[in-house]
Structure 1
Amino acid sequence: MKNQKLINARCQRGLTQVELAQRANLTVRGYQNFEHGVQSPNIETAICIANTLGIYDLRKIWDSNLEA
């Protein structure tokens, strides 16, 4: 299931998947997997993505399925 919260947050900041992946130091495919719900990020990666988006409450972009 797509992570619509994450997609919306990225779009609100006017970033493409490629731009966000580059800024968060991720592969584009890895980032796409997070948006499409194929994979959940570990907590460090989730924080990095959130920081890149200027979001400091992870609940705004992820449900509680983050990997420890």
Structure 2
Amino acid sequence: MTFSEHLLYLREKHQLKQSDIAEAVGVTVRGYRNYERGVREPTLSTLVALADFYGLTLDELVCRERSQP
């Protein structure tokens, strides 16, 4: 799953509107929409705000899996 797909999944899972999340993390609705569409990537501070909003780690938010040594 890509980051943008994961954002859409999380929003739909929690039955939220794009405007709800945009307001909570301090971005415009248009900016947040672009994250879900994969057009733009959020700044680090926005990633942290999104992770905090959903109660996830940054790795979980961006679908990062650690490789085994």
Shorter-chain-normalised TM-score: which range? Answer: 0.7 to 0.9
* Corresponding residue of 1:46: 47
Q: Check conservation: 2:18, 2:32, Cα contact below 8 A.
A: yes
Taking only the aligned residue pairs, the percentage that are identical comes to 30
User: How many residues end up aligned between the 2 structures?
Assistant: 63
More helix by share: 2
Q: Check conservation: 1:13, 1:53, Cα contact below 8 A.
A: no
TM-score normalized by structure 2?
Answer: 0.75
* Corresponding residue of 1:61: 61
Question: Which amino acid letter does the alignment assign opposite residue 36 of structure 1?
Answer: R
- Superposed, which structure 2 residues align to 1:1-68 within 5 Å? 3-55=4-56, 57-62=57-62
Unaligned runs of 5+ in 2: 65-69
* DSSP-derived class of the 2:26 partner: coil
* DSSP-derived class of the 1:34 partner: helix
Unaligned runs of 5+ in 1: none
TM-score normalized by structure 1?
Answer: 0.76
In 2, Cα distance between equivalents of 1:42 and 1:62: 13
CA-based RMSD: 2.0
Structure whose CA Rg is larger = 2
